[in-house]
Amino acid sequence: MVAGDSWAFEMALQEPWDETYRASLSFAADTNKLTAQATLDEQTFRWLIPGSQTALLPAGPYSYQVSVTDPAGNRYTVDTGAVTISADIGAPGTNVNAKSSLQMMLDECDATLTSLLSQEVTMATFTGQAYTLHNIAELWKVRTEIYSRRADEIDELRGNLGGRQFVTRFITR
């Protein structure tokens, strides 16, 4: 889901619900929250959330909740879950960090190794563990493991395993 896009969702009306019931859908992360009320179209609750509302949500992981309220005001949560809202990378001024968490860990590990090897510091910490020149081999083992996991991640992304396949062709005329 992309912030700034219009989002559409639907849910079938279920027994014993009828047209007197109301449904809402909420997305929340930290203090950011978006709640939308459904419209009832035949036997289906439908949500259409305009891009002007979704654009206000910062990118990141969100929880969602779908609730149905009966005529007496009793609310029933019928679905919960988590989604990731992505930044609209096509919007002017959007700042997107395209590095994976493994790449960021690898960069930090490399910076730690460099500071120790250049003797800028005599001790440095990485993921809560202290390292010196005397035990730098242990840090190198950690780096090798992260590097290996990152290489696997890159291979998976190149193969686009489990995702949609996009074929890009550049055409010159």
Domain containing 76 — which CATH number?
2.60.40.10
Mean pLDDT (the chain, rounded): 87
pLDDT tens digits, 62-71:
999 999 999 9
Please state, in angstroms and rounded to a whole number, the distance separating the CA atoms of residues 40 and 47. 9
What's the angle, vertex CA 59, arms to CA 55 and CA 65, rounded to 5? 85
Total residue length of the chain? 173
pLDDT tens digits, 135-147:
999 999 999 999 9
* Domain extent for 72: 7-85
Q: Are residues 51 and 106 in the same domain?
A: no
Q: 140, 146 in Cβ contact below 8 A?
A: no
SS3 40: strand
Residue 49 is assigned to a structural domain of this protein: yes
Query: What pTM, to 2 d.p., does this model score?
Result: 0.58
Give the confidence band of 87 by pLDDT, cuts at 50, 70, 90: confident
Query: pLDDT value at position 170?
Result: 60
Work out the percent of the chain whose per-residue pLDDT is above 90: 55
Q: Is 131's pLDDT higher than 60?
A: yes
Residue 165 tokens read as 């396949």
Q: Are residues 78 and 120 in the same domain?
A: no
pLDDT tens digits, 17-28:
888 999 999 999
Residue 92 is assigned to a structural domain of this protein: no
Mark which of 21, 52, 85 sits at the end of a domain. 85
Q: 129, 143 in Cβ contact below 8 A?
A: no
Please state, in angstroms and rounded to a whole number, the distance separating the CA atoms of residues 133 and 139. 10
pLDDT tens digits, 161-172:
554 555 555 656
Give the confidence band of 15 by pLDDT, cuts at 50, 70, 90: confident
Residue 167 is assigned to a structural domain of this protein: no
pLDDT tens digits, 76-86:
999 999 888 98
Residue 171 tokens read as 């055409």
